[in-house]
Amino acid sequence: MNPLYLVFGPILLSLIAYISPQGWGKYIALALFGFLMKSSITLYTLLPAHGYLMLGRYLRIDPLGFTLSLQVDQLSVVMLLLTALLLLLVALSSWSVAKNSNAYFALLILFAGPIFGVFMSTNLLWFFIFWELTLIPMFFLIGFWGAERRIYAAMKFFLYTHFASMLILLAFFLIRQQSGVFDMTLVRESMLATPTLIWWLLFIGFAVKMPLFPFHTWLPDAHVQAPAPVSVLLAGVLLKMGAYAMIRMGILMLPESAERFAVILLVIGLITLFYAALMALYETHLKKMVAYSSISHMGLVAVGIATLSASGLSAALFEMIGHALIISPLFLIAGFLHHRTGSWQMKEMSGLMQRAPYLSALFMLAGLAALGLPGTMGFIGELTILLSAIDAYGVVMALVAIGSILSAGYLIRSFRKVLHGECSPLLAQSDLRPDAALLATLVIFAALIVFFGLWPGPLFDLINPVFNGGAL
């Protein structure tokens, strides 16, 4: 299989989906995302025990070292598998999108190519190209299909993340100038003249995408205004792209700088964890509460990354996957409730349990997983990060557990406000029957949360070789 199909195929296919007869876009999207999932599994089976699987080099510009070099290792394939799974579930949960559905699915398809490119490209400049290209479909998806203040959110998202990207590009130029290569697999062996400057440029650039405090302000707006399936992509894929880049470049590519500045990442991760949790605690807007919960969990991921140990990084990767699977149903349910009731306020949705018991059960399951209930993925992720952090930085890291207490606070509060109590008039007059595709999506998410919560072994088998294979 030519790997170019995976990165450029979706870009061309998005045009076909756009001009195809109305209603065909969703089928094209589903077929493509299925193909991407199958290809990701194939890549997994082909991986060597250590190092990269070379897929090909294309478009060589030798004087600049600008070559589309496509290679994958365990870390990239884990991200590819997660992305393909989420794309499939997002397509499924978007099945009832009626407004310009072909354009909507064409943009989802357009998003798939660059995101695969990000995880497959080992050339820094091409990595950046794919990184930036993800902005365009997201900009249109938020700006066209979003809620009331969608245009503001789309512009803010675009500008904020584009500014951060410029820092990343400058870092890549400095790396190329000082090491003579754009190939991220070779940079580790090079002597860089200004590693501190490069690390900080990359750190800020990736911190915006993850997002970490104080670079997070674009995300609550983007999440609130984006349609629910796009929020899933934002939280499940785009934020993970930031965390992936932080691991791949901030840690694995620049190990010496990472060691020097790990404490800064740790402190910022902790601040993000607590700040976002406190913001969620005071939030009455359901989707915004979920958005802050998402940011708080990314703070936890940052703590895991900051341990710099194989176990900590594995835990962070597990938490990244867990977070994607846990936060997605919360966003989908919040979006569904807003779509049907017209309100974002939790107090106007009280009594959901009486009107929609299955939906409430799924909301509760995802919420409990988010607060780290044993038996769910959330518990495994939080526990392993906690243990790794204590192992790396001492008992003081037990304060990470306070983050879980705070998340229990805002999530249980949301259960009380939304699920229990008298059925609100707004809820009473709304049709709360989800369509079959959305329900199926939520059930798949719930099953995965519980399955990997009870039986995390297979997922750790997939993740552990990423950092135990000498990458560190």
Partner 1 sequence: MSAFAILLTAALLGFGIRNLRWLKGFAFAAILTAAFFALASPPISGYTADTLSAFFGRLMLLTLAAVILGETERINIVQTLFIGAAGFLLLQSTTLLAFVLAFETLSILSFILVARMQNASQAEGAVKLFIAGAVATGLIMLGLALFTLSGHPLNAPLNAPLGVLESIGLWVMLAGLFYKLTIVPMHGWAADSYALVRPAHAAILSGIAKTVVVVALFRLFDAWLIVSPLSINILLALAIATMTLGNFMALFQQRLGRILAYSSIAHAGYMLLAIAAVKSAYAPAGLLYLAVAYLFMQTALFLLLDRLGNGLSDLDLNDIKGLASRDRFAAFYLSVQLFSLAGIPLLAGFLGKAVALFAVVDAGYWPAALIALLNSALSVGYYAWIVKQLYFDDAKAKTRLTALTAAPAFAQLILLAGTLYFGIAAFSIFAVAF
- Residues lying near partner 1 in the complex (CB under 8 A) are found at 11, 59-61, 63-64, 66, 125, 128-130, 132-133, 135-136, 139-140, 143-144, 150-151, 154-155, 158-159, 162-163, 165-167, 169-170, 173-174, 176-177
Rank residues 136 and 383 by Cβ distance to partner 1 and give the closer one.
136
Amino acid letter for position 406: L
d(CA 303, CA 400): 9
Q: How far is the CB of 31 from partner 1 (least distance, A)?
A: 24
Q: How far is the CB of 422 from partner 1 (least distance, A)?
A: 39
Which structure tokens are listed for 245?
A: 């880049």
DSSP string for 296-312: HHHHHHHHHHHT-SHHH
Q: How far is the CB of 155 from partner 1 (least distance, A)?
A: 6
The CB density around residue 349, as the number of other CB atoms within 10 Å, is 27
d(CA 348, CA 427): 7
d(CA 146, CA 336): 13
Rank residues 140 and 213 by Cβ distance to partner 1 and give the closer one.
140
Q: How far is the CB of 150 from partner 1 (least distance, A)?
A: 8
Q: CB-based burial of residue 232 (10 Å sphere; 0-12 exposed, 13-18 middle, 19+ buried)?
A: buried
d(CA 243, CA 209): 8
Rank residues 42 and 177 by Cβ distance to partner 1 and give the closer one.
177
d(CA 411, CA 346): 12
Rank residues 150 and 323 by Cβ distance to partner 1 and give the closer one.
150
Which structure tokens are listed for 166?
A: 């410029």
Rank residues 60 and 416 by Cβ distance to partner 1 and give the closer one.
60
Length of the chain, in residues = 472
d(CA 128, CA 245): 11
Rank residues 154 and 359 by Cβ distance to partner 1 and give the closer one.
154
Rank residues 19 and 402 by Cβ distance to partner 1 and give the closer one.
19
Cis peptide before 255 (omega within 30 of 0): no
Q: How far is the CB of 68 from partner 1 (least distance, A)?
A: 9
Rank residues 109 and 400 by Cβ distance to partner 1 and give the closer one.
109
Residue 373 backbone phi and psi in degrees, to 5 = -70, 130
Q: How far is the CB of 34 from partner 1 (least distance, A)?
A: 25
Q: How far is the CB of 225 from partner 1 (least distance, A)?
A: 12
What are 203's strand-pairing partners? none
Rank residues 42 and 196 by Cβ distance to partner 1 and give the closer one.
196
Q: How far is the CB of 170 from partner 1 (least distance, A)?
A: 5
Of 102, 126, 104, nearest to 114 by C-alpha is: 126
DSSP symbol at 41: H
Q: How far is the CB of 129 from partner 1 (least distance, A)?
A: 4
What are 66's strand-pairing partners? 61
Rank residues 54 and 155 by Cβ distance to partner 1 and give the closer one.
155
Which structure tokens are listed for 206?
A: 């990736």
What are 183's strand-pairing partners? 123
Cβ 463 vs Cβ 318: under 8 Å: yes
Q: How far is the CB of 279 from partner 1 (least distance, A)?
A: 27
Beta-carbon contacts of residue 3 (< 8 Å; ≥ 6 apart): 55, 56, 70, 120
Q: How far is the CB of 385 from partner 1 (least distance, A)?
A: 33
DSSP symbol at 423: P
Rank residues 66 and 261 by Cβ distance to partner 1 and give the closer one.
66
Rank residues 162 and 420 by Cβ distance to partner 1 and give the closer one.
162
Cis peptide before 214 (omega within 30 of 0): yes
Q: How far is the CB of 166 from partner 1 (least distance, A)?
A: 4
Beta-carbon contacts of residue 300 (< 8 Å; ≥ 6 apart): 269, 273, 319, 381, 382, 385, 400, 403
